[in-house]
Amino acid sequence: MKRVLLRRSWLIAAAAVVIPANAQTLKQLPEGVALGDVHAIAEGATLLSVYNSHQPSVEQSGQVRTYNRATVTRFFHLPIGPERAALYAADGVKEIPHMGIQWKGAEAQMKNNEQNQTLFPGWSWKNVVVWDTQDPTVFFVEADGNTAPGATPPSANHYVMQLVVKSGKIALFREFLVPLKLTR
């Protein structure tokens, strides 16, 4: 067992995620999820209260996998915006589990894409690797994402994402990133 020296300003949480000791709580507001009392951080988002596992599809067609995989590939080639948001199913969900937030439905996906255009100008994906699974509707993607050079503030991280795609539309997009890069 490794011993960890804790500084007063940090707490070490389960799974080695570092959380500032003065972290504020997330609150649900009519317009989205807020950090603390007033700062809205996710327009159109709701708090993620239940983490549901995807139930495997009974469909085993190679054509289904090819069609759904094309949606995944397109998602990572499109810029943030309406065309990318349109890839979601009408009831499609985007989740960011480490933040405890989600966007449900087409309108929420559009709001999230609009906000991300401002927060992450020129966002692009590089080193994208799409992993097929035994289920032709489930894909895992590993990629590096970053804002355009000179963007303020700059943002870059390494991601692993789970996508569930049904009939060529994203039913679930679950995003995980390297939390230690957030602390640098």
Would you kindly state where each structural domain of the chain is located, as residue ranges? 47-183
- 74: three-class secondary structure by DSSP: helix
* pLDDT for 10: 29
- 102: three-class secondary structure by DSSP: strand
- Rounded CA-CA distance 131/160 in Å is 10
What architecture does CATH give domain 47-183? Roll (3.10)
Task: List own/partner pairs for 140-147 with CB under 8 A and 24 or more apart.
Answer: 141/72, 141/76, 143/76, 147/120, 147/121, 147/122, 147/123
Residue 148 pLDDT level (bands cut at 50, 70, 90): very high
Averaged pLDDT score across all residues of the chain: 80
Residue 178 pLDDT level (bands cut at 50, 70, 90): confident
Which of the pair, 53 or 134, is modelled with greater confidence?
134
